[in-house]
Amino acid sequence: MENAKKSVELTQDESEAFSRVVLPEPQPGVCIYNHFATRGIRVDRVEPGLVVCTLKVPPRLTDRAGNLANGAIANLVDQVGAAVHVRGLPVNVSVDISISFMSKAKLGESVVSTHEELHMSWSRRS
């Protein structure tokens, strides 16, 4: 239990860095989550069933080692992947996300994210 507590405790430097984070004033219709998590994504290519984006790794999405955090990667896959859907059908939730971590992306590096619709099916049950 002590190891778990230590893994989530902030160091003095991390605590000071967190206290310097500036968040925008809340505005009607503006989601702070999207401002924090998806700001900076550049859409490079859009085709039916395909979206390609680039992101320069910002400090707010890095882990303690200065790498793009795994949770941030999963979030970006989910958020941008939701844009790849068949027009006219509702976008609900991600059912299955597969992420291959090939290498670490460091602060300031650019990462390319390719989202392709591989298979979509549904059935009606009565």
Segment 51-89, tens digit of pLDDT: 889 999 998 899 889 999 988 888 888 777 777 665 555
pLDDT of residue 109: 95
pLDDT of residue 87: 57
Question: Which domains does the chain possess?
Answer: 44-88+102-117 (3.10.129.10)
Which amino acid does the sequence have at 46? V
pLDDT of residue 48: 79
Q: How far is CA 56 from CA 18, 42, 112, in A?
A: 20, 9, 9
CA distance 35 to 23: 9
97 Cβ partners below 8 Å, 6+ apart? 74, 77, 78, 81
Q: Is 120 helix (H, G, I), strand (E, B) or coil?
A: coil
Mean pLDDT of 88-112: 77
Residue 29 has pLDDT above 80, yes or no: no
